[in-house]
Structure 1
Amino acid sequence: MKKLISLILLVSACSAQAQTAEFVNLVPEAYLPKDVNFSLGGAVLFIPKYKGSDEHRVAAYPLFDAQWKNGAFFSAFNGLGYNFSKNASLQYGLRMSLEAARDESRSGKLRGLGDVSTALEPGAFLNYSFNPNYSLMSSLRYGSGVDHNGLQVSLGARATTALNKDHRISASIGANWANSHYAQSYFGVNARQSAASGYAPFTPSAGITDIRVGASWHWTIDTNWSLTTGASISRLSGDAAKSPFVFDKTPVTVFSAASYRF
């Protein structure tokens, strides 16, 4: 119980700027060594200041992960949820995730557009693994944006190869679709924002906002410690790419994360 309370406090401390991953990535129940599995660590990221920014920032966040054999999970990447499947090849369930805030003060190019607050998103996920090396992933999230009525649907695939018992590499591809409410909050410019920022009014439609490819290297240092380093590149598409404050349509993210498993 004390460990769980500590994890909840970590979430509260970093939720203002943190964001959970598009896809849920869980260890199948059969491979969990304990009934309750915990890990703690930290991550450093080199990321765009906002979606479509040509400026980057360095951010550091605490990492935490708790996964129970009964299907429950609580994680900085996966969010808070439950996997109903007991099949190692199939994962499906419900979760609560976070969409990070976009602060106007983060970049001069956002001046006049206002803030978009951190959003708590209820949603669902479905993953299918052909074998331990190849899997398909999907997720649905609702509740982001200025009025908290943004909807996102993500589809993706991942391939993993073990180089030896301590090292493995992964490659992934994914696409994100969003409704018009989400698009307006993160890429649109209404009349008030136009007057304050100088950008022309812009009303984006629903559609695919971006396609992303990524690669990572995972090093199991010993029984407890592990290190993961990777990078991804996105391609903004559709109306999202036409936004007047999108200055880089192919943003790059680089990260490195270390964790200790109890």
Structure 2
Amino acid sequence: MKKILGITLLAMACSAGAQTSQFVQLVPTSYLPKDVNFSLGAVALSMPKYTGSDERRLAAYPMFDAQWKNGAFFSAVNGLGYNFSKDASLQYGLRMSLEAARDESRSGKLRGLGDVNTAIEPGAFLNFNLDQNFSLASSVRYGSGLDHNGVQVSFGARATTLLSPQHRLSASIGANWVNSAYMQSYYGVTAAQSVASGYAQYTPSSGISDIKLGASWHWNIDSNWSLTTGASVSRLSGDAGRSPFVFQKNPVTIFSAASYRF
């Protein structure tokens, strides 16, 4: 079963750069207009070549989102999972998500460090909606990194304001704690990697890897079409920020996504 789920998730890996969101973002089941709610679209992004890179790349990917009234969801943003709560103010459940690959060939500054493959992460989430405009979110994910034993624990908050029936602004903040296995895979340099890359050997410890601020504008063009544009900036902190191949501690991602709701 895990293999089947993994293949399914990898089939959607092209969405959002082979990485699902830290947090699950669901419409409360009581607000869903249909038993099955589905949208399809595309997203264009400008982002660092890897986390901590001072080089950028442009990318475009298909996007999709499906949410069922019974609590199931399958999304390029949220992953594959189930929300057990029927309460509009509370969401909790299990999901399978993706952690993006880091390919050595993506940048000359990664030469000698090897690849870190896309990882399938089983995990759980808990969200609390204080009202329609403010929510708290958390998640835990396991399975990333070279030996698939990386752990990520994320906490965040999101505020939304309705400018008009068609336009909505959102702002978010989040922090990500990771264990030493995750740190070593994505920010560390082993003795062998040091010889191959020329970077000094580096063994980071567990801790807060980054803090992220985000903002977005959502436009409901009509009853079917919508456009979302936004940006996020992270601050690589602690041992992550001190990695010898982190050249930009404040990476910025800019995106624009169009979707059609069926």
TM-score by length of 2: 0.95
Alpha-carbon distance between aligned partners in 2 of 1:12 and 1:135, rounded to the nearest angstrom: 27
Report the counterpart of residue 194 of structure 2 in structure 1: 194
Mapped pair 1:216 → 2:219? no
Q: For residue 196 of structure 1, give the secondary structure of its aligned residue in structure 2.
A: helix
How far 1:13 moved relative to its partner?
6.5
Alpha-carbon distance between aligned partners in 2 of 1:50 and 1:124, rounded to the nearest angstrom: 26
Q: For residue 131 of structure 1, give the secondary structure of its aligned residue in structure 2.
A: coil
Q: Deviations over 1:66-114 (max 9, x none)?
A: 0000000000000000000000000000000000100000000000000
Does the aligned pair in 1 maintain the 2:9–2:98 contact within 8 Å? no
Q: For residue 183 of structure 1, give the secondary structure of its aligned residue in structure 2.
A: helix
How far 1:14 moved relative to its partner?
2.2
Given residue 255 of structure 2, which amino acid in structure 1 is its aligned partner?
A: F
Distance 1:229-1:15 versus aligned 2 partners, 3 A rule: closer
Q: How does 1:52-63 map to 2 (within 5 A)?
A: 52-63=52-63
Report the counterpart of residue 4 of structure 1 in structure 2: none
Does the aligned pair in 2 maintain the 1:10–1:62 contact within 8 Å? no
Distance 1:29-1:149 versus aligned 2 partners, 3 A rule: same
When the two chains are superposed, the root-mean-square deviation of aligned CA atoms in Å is 1.4
Report the counterpart of residue 206 of structure 1 in structure 2: 206
Q: For residue 182 of structure 1, give the secondary structure of its aligned residue in structure 2.
A: helix
Q: For residue 120 of structure 2, give the secondary structure of its aligned residue in structure 1.
A: strand
List structure 1 segments (4+ residues) > 3 angstroms apart after TM superposition.
none
Does the aligned pair in 2 maintain the 1:123–1:140 contact within 8 Å? yes
Q: Deviations over 1:40-72 (max 9, x none)?
A: 000001111111001110111110100000000
5+ long unaligned stretches in structure 1: 1-7
Alpha-carbon distance between aligned partners in 2 of 1:75 and 1:22, rounded to the nearest angstrom: 13
Alpha-carbon distance between aligned partners in 1 of 2:87 and 2:190, rounded to the nearest angstrom: 47
Mapped pair 1:95 → 2:95? yes
Does the aligned pair in 1 maintain the 2:209–2:241 contact within 8 Å? yes
How far 1:181 moved relative to its partner?
0.2
Q: How does 1:138-177 map to 2 (within 5 A)?
A: 138-177=138-177
Alpha-carbon distance between aligned partners in 1 of 2:26 and 2:86, rounded to the nearest angstrom: 12
How far 1:11 moved relative to its partner?
2.8
Report the counterpart of residue 76 of structure 2 in structure 1: 76
Q: Deviations over 1:122-176 (max 9, x none)?
A: 0000000110000000000000000000000000000000000000000000000
Distance 1:169-1:235 versus aligned 2 partners, 3 A rule: same
Report the counterpart of residue 182 of structure 2 in structure 1: 182
How far 1:30 moved relative to its partner?
1.2
Distance 1:57-1:68 versus aligned 2 partners, 3 A rule: same
Report the counterpart of residue 232 of structure 1 in structure 2: 232
Q: Deviations over 1:209-240 (max 9, x none)?
A: 00010100000000000000000100000000
Alpha-carbon distance between aligned partners in 2 of 1:41 and 1:16, rounded to the nearest angstrom: 12
Distance 1:77-1:65 versus aligned 2 partners, 3 A rule: same
Alpha-carbon distance between aligned partners in 2 of 1:171 and 1:75, rounded to the nearest angstrom: 21
Given residue 261 of structure 1, which amino acid in structure 2 is its aligned partner?
A: R
TM-score by length of 1: 0.95
Mapped pair 1:255 → 2:255? yes
Report the counterpart of residue 129 of structure 1 in structure 2: 129
Q: Which moved more, 1:124-133 or 1:12-21?
A: 12-21
Identity between Structure 1 and Structure 2 (%) = 77
Number of residue pairs matched by the alignment: 255
Report the counterpart of residue 35 of structure 2 in structure 1: 35
Given residue 91 of structure 2, which amino acid in structure 1 is its aligned partner?
A: Q
Report the counterpart of residue 3 of structure 2 in structure 1: none
